Chain A
């Protein structure tokens, strides 16, 4: 099929490009370059977590949720409330934060998404944007406009400061390992769920064909609810763990959400592997650009990639083609 060979070309070109960037960075910049790359992997893991939230909702319901970043933000905020203000144990705070945001996601799905009769994508996008605006404002109201402190999970010295971990000549905060670990775990769990469990496979079927899926026992309505709840939970988990590296503040979700979205599009909406690929590539490229050129402009990279992907191959690196252009 023509599509397949074009995809192979694009995949190969991207792989070559990324490898080239890595090589050039390491050769020219040595251990600083390694620092950039490793922190790029950490940031990329965050993007992967956010991108997976987008992917799950999209692959189950063909909806794009631009409030995904806000799930992460609320998760981080709640983590602060539970573990710093209320001084609860970390794992308790983590579970509570994730649970509450999951409920939030479920409530929103039932209230605003489920009742739509024949929703078109733009309607949903705008509705989720409305939701994100409301969440941001509510967060600002509840927690104020300043960033809130977070508790690192491990690796604290007696003074309370984090002891950096040394890898390949670069030093990373120990929380980074938690982030990458969480992302890896999430990827594995989500992959197993959608590919090996009946419910997960049923949900994917429901996205393809609403009516047929209900015949096999998975209603579209259930699929939508579960997808949103899962995405909310994933987002919150991400927010809860990145606190020490990226402080939670009411508007942290905006850029994070949009960049995670760009990563999801790059990798291919609806594909878990795509989320990983997109997240890591974006994270690494962004880190290299920030280090090597300018940290202010690095934000533009995600959007440039977004637009390029939409123009060249909107289904991304690993997604399946859909009718997009004239």
Chain B
């Protein structure tokens, strides 16, 4: 298969300052192709800020991010998405007033090109592309099990389904690297185990996944590898077993065992 030892995502000494406060300090780690890596840590540890920096929503104060060997530090979010890395958000940010299908179709933006002129004048190439986008969107909806609700307003879905739609939307861009920001937040145990199964299926298809998560059950189930953040710094890295028994991690969390069933 792939003999490349180059990690698909390399995070290199990322520091992010807000005034005098360091939200992220010298954070470095690699994500290998086809692995599921979790980023955990207490609230306020900087996990979402890390995602924001990696996906171009914020700029780091120093350090670099490399995607597939290319330096993407400081690139716009939409450029990074075109390169194959996409993220979901901690708070559901569905597009209001758009149907489930339309939300998913927006995810296909980076895979399509036709613009104002071609679409305004309905060139055949634009019409073809539109059909293709609809097909891709329906595919991902099927993958997450929402294909029956495609005509409804996104905001009509239950919370758990909205989270699935967010995931579908991200998948619609056909990414190589998927960044999920607390995908299990607010999900009930059934939905969480569905999510866990879905993530593993995606990983088996070759997707690389980086997850920020509080739900320890999910983390332990799906992760191949874990990175622990506290106060913006990495305090531990390793397999789930290693991290679970790391005294520094236990200390940072205080009560990590009690959290193990969502």
Direct touching of A and B (C-beta under 8 Å): yes
Report which A residues bind B (CB closer than 8 A).
1-2
Across-interface contacts of B20 in A (CB, < 8 A): 1
Determine if B19 is an interface residue (Cβ-Cβ < 8 Å).
Answer: yes
| Total count of chain B residues near the partner, CB < 8 A | 2
With the chains together, A2 CA to B19 CA distance in Å?
Answer: 6
Across-interface contacts of B19 in A (CB, < 8 A): 1-2
B243 vs chain A, min Cβ distance (A)? 36
With the chains together, A145 CA to B19 CA distance in Å?
Answer: 56
Report which B residues bind A (CB closer than 8 A).
19-20
With the chains together, A1 CA to B20 CA distance in Å?
Answer: 7
Across-interface contacts of A2 in B (CB, < 8 A): 19
Residue of B nearest to A1 (CB): B19
A323 vs chain B, min Cβ distance (A)? 14
Tell me if B's interface is mostly helix, strand, loop or mixed.
loop
A-B contact count (CB 8 A): 3
With the chains together, A2 CA to B20 CA distance in Å?
Answer: 9
Q: 3 tightest A-B contacts by CB?
A: A1-B19, A2-B19, A1-B20
Across-interface contacts of A1 in B (CB, < 8 A): 19-20
B154 vs chain A, min Cβ distance (A)? 22
Can you report 3 A-B residue pairs in the complex whose CB atoms are below 8 A from each other? Answer: A1-B19, A1-B20, A2-B19
With the chains together, A1 CA to B19 CA distance in Å?
Answer: 5
Residue of B nearest to A4 (CB): B19
Residue of B nearest to A2 (CB): B19
A295 vs chain B, min Cβ distance (A)? 43
With the chains together, A141 CA to B19 CA distance in Å?
Answer: 56
With the chains together, A2 CA to B17 CA distance in Å?
Answer: 11
B77 vs chain A, min Cβ distance (A)? 11
B12 vs chain A, min Cβ distance (A)? 24
B129 vs chain A, min Cβ distance (A)? 28
With the chains together, A2 CA to B21 CA distance in Å?
Answer: 12
With the chains together, A114 CA to B19 CA distance in Å?
Answer: 38
Residue of B nearest to A3 (CB): B19
A322 vs chain B, min Cβ distance (A)? 16
With the chains together, A1 CA to B17 CA distance in Å?
Answer: 11
With the chains together, A1 CA to B21 CA distance in Å?
Answer: 10
With the chains together, A45 CA to B20 CA distance in Å?
Answer: 40
A20 vs chain B, min Cβ distance (A)? 33
With the chains together, A250 CA to B20 CA distance in Å?
Answer: 53
B135 vs chain A, min Cβ distance (A)? 33
Residue of A nearest to B19 (CB): A1
B18 vs chain A, min Cβ distance (A)? 9
Residue of A nearest to B17 (CB): A2
A15 vs chain B, min Cβ distance (A)? 26
A120 vs chain B, min Cβ distance (A)? 15
B64 vs chain A, min Cβ distance (A)? 22
B19 vs chain A, min Cβ distance (A)? 5
A7 vs chain B, min Cβ distance (A)? 14
B93 vs chain A, min Cβ distance (A)? 16
Residue of A nearest to B20 (CB): A1
B204 vs chain A, min Cβ distance (A)? 38
A321 vs chain B, min Cβ distance (A)? 12
B188 vs chain A, min Cβ distance (A)? 32
B161 vs chain A, min Cβ distance (A)? 27
With the chains together, A104 CA to B20 CA distance in Å?
Answer: 49
